[in-house]
Each structure stands twice: as structure tokens, then as C-alpha cells.
Structure 1
Amino acid sequence: MNTATNAAAVRTATASSNTLLGKLRALALHALNLHLQNCAVIAEAHRRPQ
């Protein structure tokens, strides 16, 4: 996962979080980040031999 891109997205989201759309964008980015982390965990679990 590209943490530099995620950090830039978080900075952008926090800069514009004073509006409703900014808050929704920040929430969507956070949900996407959690989803990608979850996918990485599942992929790692499937990659390892049983």
C-alpha cells in the first residue's frame, strides 16, 4: 500500500473537512483505506500455505 499517497489524501481531507462534502470525502477515504488494509490481510492469509 502506498503510504505517501494515503498521507497526502489525509492532509487534503483534513484541509477541506469544514464542509459537509469535505467531511464525506474524509470519511470515504478513511473507509477506503480500511478496506484496502483488510484486503491486504486477507490476501496475505491466502498466500501463506495451510
Structure 2
Amino acid sequence: MNTASNVVRTTPAANTFFGKLRALALHALELHLQNCAVIAEAHRRPN
């Protein structure tokens, strides 16, 4: 699955405030996408 983690790995070390903020936002996005995948899987399965 193509997630934000691929983008995080290709960026240089975050030394600036905005670099750290960007890394934090990408991590939050990845967690959100994982959560969406779990919810989608739960809805896909029959009761």
C-alpha cells in the first residue's frame, strides 16, 4: 500500500521547524489512512 511513509523516508533530516511540522503531518496522515483501512475492512466483513 502506498502511504505517506514512503514520502517520509525520501526526505532529508528535518532540521527546521517546518520540516518537523511536515514530518508530523505526514505521520498523522499515515495513521489516519491506516485507521480508514481498518474501518473499511470492518465494514466489508459480514456480521
**Comparing both structures, which one devotes a greater share of its residues to helix?**
1
Question: TM-score, with normalisation over the residues of structure 2?
Answer: 0.85
1:10 matched to 2:8? The reply is: yes
The answer to whether the 8 A contact 2:5-2:27 is kept is no
Aligned residue for 1:48? 45
Aligned residue for 1:37? 34
Instruction: State the aligned residue count.
Output: 46
Runs of 4+ residues over 3 Å off in structure 1: none
Unaligned ranges ≥5, structure 1: none
Unaligned ranges ≥5, structure 2: none
**RCO higher in 1 or 2 (8 Å CA, sep ≥ 6)?**
2
